[in-house]
Amino acid sequence: MRAARAVALALAALASASGARAAEMRAPPGASSCTGCHAQGAAMGALKGRPEAEIVAALAAFRSGERPATLMNRVAKGFDEAESRAIAAWFAAQEAR
């Protein structure tokens, strides 16, 4: 009985971990458009692994016009604060390669 319970707990933990990894792999809406310019090795610099607060602040600065840009000011205006935070959290959770 103990062995069966231990196996059941181990399987539940494994399923939970697998679900968490799958959730981490799914990018929030809008994040996939960032990788065109911000992939590893890209001229504009990779976003993977950057601090969440840094990405959120940059998007807010682009949105407000505080940070000048040729394209990002328009792109950032397409995301509200919640979307910006979701995108930033996702990129911050990714391992930089």
- Overall domain count for the chain: 1
- Give domain status of residue 11, yes or no: no
Q: How far apart are CA 93 and CA 76, in angstroms?
A: 20
CATH code for the domain of 65:
1.10.760.10
The answer to whether residue 33 sits within a structural domain is no
Question: In this structure, is residue 57 part of a structural domain?
Answer: yes
- What CA–CA distance (Å, rounded) separates 96 from 92? 9
Q: Is 42 domain-assigned?
A: no
For residue 49, what are the contacts with CB-CB under 8 A and spacing of at least 6?
Answer: 91, 92, 94, 95, 96
CA–CA distance from 17 to each of 11, 12, 40, 64 (Å)? Answer: 10, 9, 26, 39
Interval 61-79: pLDDT, tens:
999 999 999 999 999 999 9
> For the segment 10-64, what is each residue's pLDDT rounded down to a tens digit?
444 444 444 445 445 688 988 888 888 898 888 888 999 999 999 999 999 999 9
CB 91 within 8 A of CB 34: yes
